[in-house]
């Protein structure tokens, strides 16, 4: 048995690379993107009724995940990268079929485009389907997961004065919440959990078209040192 699917759209996202994308949606509410719908789904009929919906389930393709040998067990970064669990107990991008799912906020509906926030999607992610979040069925008060009971602890993020000024200028230019995006994403600690930060080393990532650089003055603290186009 095999099935093939065509994307119904793709996401233009603030995340230009995989590094520093939060490991789940909603961890960075300032992470914005636009879902461009492909014909014939770009017509108003296809989204009629979504005005009354606050959040969407997106089913998407991990198009930038390395393909190759299939493993039954994976090492989620969340568990420090050295504990193996079954692939079906994880949200790893390395799965039998490279399909992801995320609950995102629907901020607006424009001609053939859905405005989103709280995303964890790389720029260019192909979308297979969209479904409305249904609170009475999807928010389960008795749910538990001992491997991921609560959101990961956050690091403190502070700024050098020049970097903060650069970030303000970029926020004005892009008309995006650049400062919040950087703080929320870096607070998740993008580097692998098993890696002790070298206090002298600088790390970097691209959000939108800007390069963000930071270092770790202490293991649990990040200082942003540059935000440049």
Judged by the rule CB under 6 A, the positions of this chain that interact with ligand SAM are 18, 21, 23-25, 62-65, 91, 93, 100-102, 120-122, 125
Instruction: Give the Cα separation of 99 and 16 in Å (integer).
Output: 20
* Nearer to ligand SAM (CB atom), residue 92 or residue 166: 92
* Nearer to ligand SAM (CB atom), residue 190 or residue 197: 190
Give the distance between the most distant pair of CA atoms in the chain. Answer: 58
Residue 66 Cβ, how far from ligand SAM at the closest point, in Å?
9
* Nearer to ligand SAM (CB atom), residue 84 or residue 168: 84
Within the chain, strands assigned E span 9-13, 32-37, 55-61, 73-74, 85-86, 99-110, 113-117, 125-132, 156-159, 203-207, 210-218, 221-228
Nearest residue to the partner ligand SAM, using Cβ? 100
User: Token pair for residue 73?
Assistant: 């067990």
Residue 170 Cβ, how far from ligand SAM at the closest point, in Å?
22
Instruction: Give the Cα separation of 224 and 90 in Å (integer).
Output: 31
Residue 20 Cβ, how far from ligand SAM at the closest point, in Å?
8
Residue 175 Cβ, how far from ligand SAM at the closest point, in Å?
24
Question: What sign for the dihedral angle of Cα 11, 12, 13, 15?
Answer: positive
Residue 18 Cβ, how far from ligand SAM at the closest point, in Å?
4
Instruction: Give the Cα separation of 168 and 160 in Å (integer).
Output: 13
* Nearer to ligand SAM (CB atom), residue 75 or residue 91: 91
* Nearer to ligand SAM (CB atom), residue 127 or residue 171: 127
Cα separation values, 33 from 102, 118, 140, 155, 214, Å: 13, 9, 27, 24, 24
């Amino acid at each position: 048995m095999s099935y093939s699917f065509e994307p119904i759209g793709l996401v233009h996202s603030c995340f230009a690379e995989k590094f520093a994308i939060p490991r789940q949606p909603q961890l960075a509410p300032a992470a914005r993107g636009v879902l461009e719908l492909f014909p014939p789904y770009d017509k108003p009929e296809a989204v009629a009724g979504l005005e009354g919906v606050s959040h969407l389930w997106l089913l998407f393709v991990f198009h930038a995940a390395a393909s190759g040998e299939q493993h039954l067990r994976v090492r989620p970064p969340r568990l420090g990268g050295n504990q193996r669990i079954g692939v079906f107990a994880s949200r790893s991008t390395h799965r039998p079929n490279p399909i992801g799912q995320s609950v995102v906020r629907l901020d607006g509906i424009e001609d053939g485009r859905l405005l989103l926030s709280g995303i964890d999607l790389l720029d260019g992610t192909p979308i297979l389907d969209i479904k409305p979040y249904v609170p009475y069925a999807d928010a389960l008060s008795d749910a538990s997961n001992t491997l991921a009971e609560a959101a990961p602890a956050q690091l403190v993020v502070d700024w050098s004065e020049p970097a903060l000024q650069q970030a303000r200028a970029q926020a004005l230019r892009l008309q995006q919440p650049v400062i919040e995006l950087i703080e929320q994403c870096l607070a998740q600690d993008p580097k692998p959990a098993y890696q002790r930060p070298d206090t002298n080393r600088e790390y970097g990532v691209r959000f939108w078209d800007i390069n963000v650089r930071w270092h770790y003055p202490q293991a649990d603290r990040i200082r942003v040192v540059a935000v440049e186009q």
